[in-house]
Amino acid sequence: MEILILFLLFYNLLQKVLTSKELISLGKSRLTRMPRRGLILQTRTHWLLLGLALLCSLILFLYLLECAPQTDGNASLPGIIGENYGKEYYQALLQEQEEHYQTRATSLKRQIAQLKQELQEMSEKMRSLQERKNVGANGISYQGNKEQAPSDLLEFLHSQIDKAEVSIGAKLPSEYGVIPFESFTLMKVFQLEMGLTRHPEEKPVRKDKRDELVEVIEAGLEVINNPDEDDEQEDEDGPLGEKLIFNENDFVEGYYRTEKDKGTQYELFFKKADLMEYRHVTLFRPFGPLMKVKSEMIDITRSVINIIVPLAGRTEAFAQFMQNFSESNFHNYTLVSLNEEFNRGRGLNVGARAWDKGEVLMFFCDVDIYFSAEFLNSCRLNAEPGKKVFYPVVFSLYNPAIVYANLDVPPPVEQQLVHKKDSGFWRDFGFGMTCQYQSDFLTIGGFDMEVKGWGGEDVHLYRKYLHSDLIVIRTPVPGLFHLWHEKRCADELTPEQYRMCIQSKAMNEASHSHLGMLVFREEIETHLHKQAYRTNSEAVG
């Protein structure tokens, strides 16, 4: 652009100078020269002017190229203070953003096509109903199954929501009947279902899954930003008095699960960075278009959590727990001492009843648990008195001596908190960590005091909730870890408890691949010796 401007200026300047000279020359020779010759001279002058301008522009362009600063193709681009990020990092970041926006654009196109199809189907449905109505008026009745051909499609879809476990808990025979939720953020899904291609944490690879979650988040934003009159949320203005608008960056976390004969339920939570209130949206897809169930605002600023930890011995573990706990700026502790044989259920019962200041949310925790402040917010968001109890699935870490056998010393605990197949697993058979309100715990009858020693009492309590009208939220959460410790199974345990203890001990040591390496250690060493001997023989030969 700068070169073009200079070229035009230079061109105009030369044109003015040469034109004036041409006029003088033509004035002097007007009486002696023919008009045709003057025209030829004028044409040559313009070409000379154009050539000089192009030559000067070329010289200026070469000068700018010579003076331009040299760039290093491999130099690091600026990033966060104190860190160097190479070109590959920003290329990957740009590619990820491009994939995100392409996914969103594809989702919007698909939604438009879906809405057109739904509109056409609804029109055809209304036309069909009108025809049946007209036929009935002429004395011909329609015989059909009301379940198979409902008279009102919207009524049928709402009936699917009523059948699902959305607003009220379904009474289940055992813990095996629970359909767990999977949790997700904008970039990752935390899932329980295992397999060769599944991981405890993953970025969705399948396009249909990415499209599904993007569509659900966008639908949740539409509900929040354009509320109905029956929504349980108040209009809130921004800091400058404008209407508060939420976007995808305000999405905190979500949960979803599918009942194969009813549909898929979605629980979405949104929050502005400078506000304390969360926006909660429940959506349901009854094997048809998404339908809003409810929209509400949740204020967690006054939601107190009592963290109850039963303990007998384990002084070092308790010291580590208190250190982690203190880092979260918690300073209120109450010690309830019992001079009797250890019983986990008994300890939790006493701790639950020790609070006498009204309703309170309780988190039953163990001394080997590491949790984040974000998890406590999840605890607040997913438990509701008289309606919901929260049973998060803990990510249990393997023995660091096996996981990090290639290192001289295992890394600090904070660096071990990663969701990888070889670092740990989702403890989907454990029900000891739970968030519930004191009133629900007392109403359900608390723990079974007949259970002694290790294990069993948490399963009994879990089954009580499953048999009630409360909704049980069961899902993996990223901010809750079970730290590895050596497990000892006492001789005084019943055969059933001892079997459960041994199974838990085996599960906690290492991943399938790491255990396989330990089991086949001799075969591996023999193979390595053979390989070394063959290499040495070839070298000597």
457 or 82, which is more confident: 457
**189 to each of 103, 115, 426, 464, 478, how far by Cα in Å?**
16, 27, 13, 30, 10
- CA gap 76, 86 in Å, rounded: 4
Q: Is 255 left (phi over 0), alpha (psi -120 to 50) or beta?
A: beta
Predicted TM-score (pTM) of this structure? 0.54
Q: pLDDT-derived band of residue 175, with 50, 70 and 90 as boundaries?
A: confident
Residue 315 has a pLDDT of 77
- CA gap 324, 371 in Å, rounded: 8
pLDDT tens-place string over residues 467-481? 999 999 999 999 999
pLDDT tens-place string over residues 117-174? 777 777 776 666 666 555 444 443 333 333 444 456 677 777 777 777 777 777 887 7
Q: Which amino acid type is present at position 208?
A: D
Strands (E), 222-290: 251-259, 263-271, 277-285
Calculate mean pLDDT across residues 329-356.
83
Alpha-carbon torsion 450, 456, 462, 467, what sign? negative
Residues 6+ apart with CB under 8 A from 391: 431, 433, 434, 462, 472, 473, 474
Q: Is the pLDDT of residue 489 over 70?
A: yes
pLDDT tens-place string over residues 228-242? 876 666 656 665 567
Query: Hey, where are the domains in the chain?
Result: 173-235+244-297, 303-517
- CA gap 363, 375 in Å, rounded: 11
> Quick check: 168 and 469 in contact, CB under 8 A?
yes
Residue 120 has a pLDDT of 74
Q: Is the pLDDT of residue 23 over 90?
A: no
65 or 48, which is more confident: 48
Q: What percent of the chain clears pLDDT 70, i.e. is strictly above it?
A: 73
- Provide the β-strand partners of residue 279: 270, 297
Calculate mean pLDDT across residues 425-446.
92
Q: Which CATH architecture has domain 303-517?
A: Alpha-Beta Complex (3.90)
Q: What percent of the chain clears pLDDT 90, i.e. is strictly above it?
A: 28
Residue 29 has a pLDDT of 42
Residue 541 has a pLDDT of 63
- Tally of CA atoms within 13 A in the half-sphere of 188 that contains its CB: 12
